[in-house]
Every structure is written in C-alpha cells, then in structure tokens.
C-alpha cells in the first residue's frame, strides 16, 4: 500500500512530457549472463516515438545509432566472464530524450568452464564468387579431429572494428604512398554505421594514430599531409594493433599495408605470431610488391644489420603464415592501380562473412595450439577461416 502511494506520487509529480517518449530494452534480459553474439532489441513508445532514433551503448561505449524501427542490433560482447551494461537512449525532436539500461551479471566462478566459446569468421567462395546462402547446418567445425556443435551462427553484415595499419616508410615516397592513402580512403568509405576504425601510420616508428571512430571524415582527415620517411617495423606495429583490438569487442580486423618486409622491429615475427594465435583478429596484408611477372609466392630478399637475407626471408614467411592462420589473406599488388581494388575488396569480403561459434568439447590446455578445420558440406564451396587458436595461459 505504501509503495503504491509512492508510485502514485511520483507519477503525479512528473512533468507532462514524461509519457511523450519511453524506451525499453526487451533483449537481453537483465540478471542473465551474456557472452558472444547478443541480439539487442529496443522498443520505443509515446507521443514522440514517431521519428525517434535510438543510440545504443555497451559498457559506456557507443555502439551506434539506429535511425528507424525495428531497433535491433547484433553485437559480439566477447567471451570474458564479465558483467555488461546495455543502455538505450531514445531521442526525439525538440530535444526530448528517454533512456534505459539493462545490466547482465558475470557468472559464478564454478560456472566458468562453460565460457570458452570460440568464434570463427568464415569467407566462402565457389565458382561464381562468394557463396552467401549457406545455413548453419551447411557448416562443420572440427577441433583437433573432433566434430563440434555449432551454437551460434550469423551471416552477412556483422559490425566490425578495424585497424588500418599503413606503411609510410621512405620506400613509399611519392606515388606508392599517394595510391595507398587513396586506397585507404576508399576502404573507409565502405564503413557501415556501426563499424569503427583506427588508423595507424608507421615506419620504423608509430607516426600517427587516430582513436577508434565510426566517423570516416575524422579518419580521412588523419590521412592528409602524410610524408614518407624512415624504416619499416611491421612486427612492432602489428603487435600494437593487436593489443589495441584486445580492448575491443566483436569482430576485429587488421588491414596491414606494406611494400616490404620487417627491418627494424624489436619484436620478432615469431613473437608476434604467438600474439596472433591468441587473438581473434583477422589479418589482411596488402603487400605492394610492384614486381609484375613474379610468382605471388616469391619471397623478397632484403638485408640489413638487424636481419640478413635468410632471416629477412624467414620473417616474411612467418608474417604470411600468421596472416593465413588468422583467417585473413595476403593480397599481392604488382601495380599501383590495383591498390584501390585491394582495399575495397577486403571491405567487401568482410561484409560477406559467416560467423560460427562453438564450445570446444575438449577444453584446451592453457597456451596450447588447437587446430580447427571449418568445412562446408555443399560441394564446390571453398572455405577460409582461422586455422586454430591458442588458449590464453
């Protein structure tokens, strides 16, 4: 009785606009642990609901703004056992806003064995290009020889967080750098509303870095006035990019652009490859070779005081291997005119991936490498995905 009176008092005291705009989060439900891909569903009502937009936040970070109903968004919250806060802010004309939030808890410690959801981003292709009509049952996932049960499945355009890692070393002077910056600009033009990208321009040092942002104009601005200088430290900056992505949730991608192999890094590629194995990031390497007629598999020869020809070639091979293990690919570019297509093609590929997730039937020992094979049952369809994962120690 007393509670009812309080509620009545509150309602009476509220200004008239209180029922003009209301927002609820229907999914996820509070008090239930969430991990991996999560569907957020928001409802908006009230007199001002017509034309309202909804901004979604996860743990205080904006996921983007949905401009029309249905207000639904799939987001990958990762696999850590942590609590999350989902927040929805409805905004209507005249500055009228309404907000609500849902808090999902972390699991109790004795439940943690259930948490090792592994997600794989899969690119499929057939004789006519990408194959985009596959269903969950078309996929098979085999970890260390054991068939796994797919528990999550998504197709198509899942939001992504990317790091664009651009080589601005002295060897890029002139047209190569101009072409690379133009290609990067076109990559940014392909960003969707909920995508976020960070720019990292490097030589033997980190020359320029933006924040993660979903505003391509900000990123394009960071690409102006760049001058080529210095040496090449791919390994260090790849590690840097991987670490930056560690803090991000959902699908993460690195697009590495370079015209050569590493020369000046303090980290070896073998060390960075370990990090790649612990990361879920897909790595795409646009390798500007400018050597038409050579085999795509040719390993370049370079010598420096830090690495002789053999060591340099080994670094190159390890980088290529790490890229392929990540589920990405190496795109060899022999003509500057092909650079644009290379950047745009990667963005297009990312828009056409499948995401499957499973709980390993045999929990991995910490640090051990688990070989994973993703297959498609439909004949003639080729699959590219991460080749395994290493469990964090």
Q: Which residues bind other proteins (CB under 8 A)?
A: 204-209, 227, 229-231, 233, 236, 239-240, 243-244, 246-247, 263-267, 271, 275, 303-306, 308-311, 392-393
Minimum distance between the CB of residue 130 and other proteins, rounded to whole angstroms? 35
**Residue among 207 and 376 whose Cβ is closer to other proteins:** 207
**Residue among 147 and 211 whose Cβ is closer to other proteins:** 211
Minimum distance between the CB of residue 277 and other proteins, rounded to whole angstroms? 12
**Residue among 280 and 331 whose Cβ is closer to other proteins:** 280
Beginning with the edge strand found earlier in the chain, give each strand of the sheet holding 369-376 in spatial order: 146-148, 139-143, 369-376, 388-390
- Are the beta carbons of 323 and 166 closer than 8 angstroms? no
Minimum distance between the CB of residue 236 and other proteins, rounded to whole angstroms? 5
Q: How far, rounded to the nearest angstrom, does the alpha carbon of residue 7 sit from its chain's CA centroid?
A: 45
Q: Is the dihedral of CA 300, 306, 307, 312 positive or negative?
A: negative
**Residue among 60 and 95 whose Cβ is closer to other proteins:** 60
Minimum distance between the CB of residue 34 and other proteins, rounded to whole angstroms? 21
- Are the beta carbons of 240 and 265 closer than 8 angstroms? no
**Residue among 222 and 385 whose Cβ is closer to other proteins:** 222
- The burial class, CB within 10 Å (0-12 / 13-18 / 19+), for 127 is exposed
Q: How far apart are CA 265 and CA 235, in angstroms?
A: 6
Minimum distance between the CB of residue 365 and other proteins, rounded to whole angstroms? 15
Q: How far apart are CA 110 and CA 59, in angstroms?
A: 24
- Whose tokens are 């891909």? That residue is 37
Minimum distance between the CB of residue 168 and other proteins, rounded to whole angstroms? 11
Minimum distance between the CB of residue 17 and other proteins, rounded to whole angstroms? 41
- Are the beta carbons of 300 and 316 closer than 8 angstroms? yes
Q: How far apart are CA 65 and CA 55, in angstroms?
A: 4
**Residue among 186 and 208 whose Cβ is closer to other proteins:** 208
Q: How far apart are CA 165 and CA 265, in angstroms?
A: 15
Q: How far apart are CA 349 and CA 133, in angstroms?
A: 15
Q: How far apart are CA 277 and CA 211, in angstroms?
A: 25
**Residue among 302 and 358 whose Cβ is closer to other proteins:** 302
- Whose tokens are 């760049």? That residue is 226
């Amino acid at each position: 009785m007393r509670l009812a009176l309080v509620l009545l008092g509150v309602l009476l005291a509220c200004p008239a606009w209180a029922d003009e705009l209301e927002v609820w989060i229907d999914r996820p439900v509070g008090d239930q642990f969430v991990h991996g891909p999560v569907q957020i569903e928001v409802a908006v009502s009230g007199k001002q609901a017509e034309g309202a937009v909804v901004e979604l936040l996860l743990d205080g970070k904006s996921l983007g703004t949905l401009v029309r109903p249905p207000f639904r968004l799939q987001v990958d919250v990762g696999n850590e056992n942590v609590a999350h806060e989902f927040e929805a802010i409805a905004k209507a004309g005249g500055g009228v806003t309404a907000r609500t939030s849902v808090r999902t808890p972390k699991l109790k410690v004795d439940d943690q064995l259930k948490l090792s959801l592994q997600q794989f981003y899969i690119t499929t292709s057939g004789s006519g290009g990408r194959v985009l009509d596959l269903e969950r049952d078309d996929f098979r996932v085999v970890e260390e020889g054991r068939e796994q049960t797919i528990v999550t499945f998504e197709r198509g355009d899942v939001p992504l967080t990317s790091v664009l890692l651009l080589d601005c070393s002295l060897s890029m002077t002139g047209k190569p750098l101009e072409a690379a910056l133009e290609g990067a600009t076109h990559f940014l033009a392909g960003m969707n509303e909920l995508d976020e990208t960070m720019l990292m321009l490097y030589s033997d040092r980190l020359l320029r870095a933006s924040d993660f942002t979903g505003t391509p104009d900000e990123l394009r601005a960071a690409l102006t006035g760049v001058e080529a200088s210095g040496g090449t430290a791919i390994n260090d900056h790849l590690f840097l990019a991987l670490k930056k992505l560690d803090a991000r949730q959902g699908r993460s991608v690195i697009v590495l652009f370079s015209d050569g192999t590493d020369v000046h890094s303090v980290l070896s590629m073998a060390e960075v490859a370990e990090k790649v194995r612990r990361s879920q990031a897909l790595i795409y390497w646009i390798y500007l070779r400018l050597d038409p007629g050579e085999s795509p598999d040719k390993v370049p020869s370079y010598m420096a005081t830090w690495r002789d020809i053999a060591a340099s070639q080994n670094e190159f091979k390890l980088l290529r291997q790490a890229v392929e293990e990540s589920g990405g690919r190496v795109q060899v570019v022999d003509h500057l005119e092909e650079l644009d297509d290379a950047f745009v093609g990667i963005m297009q590929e990312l828009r056409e991936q499948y995401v499957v997730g499973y709980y390993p039937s045999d929990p991995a020992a910490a640090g051990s490498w688990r070989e994973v094979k993703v297959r498609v049952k439909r004949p003639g369809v080729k699959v590219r995905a991460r080749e395994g994962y290493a469990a964090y120690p």
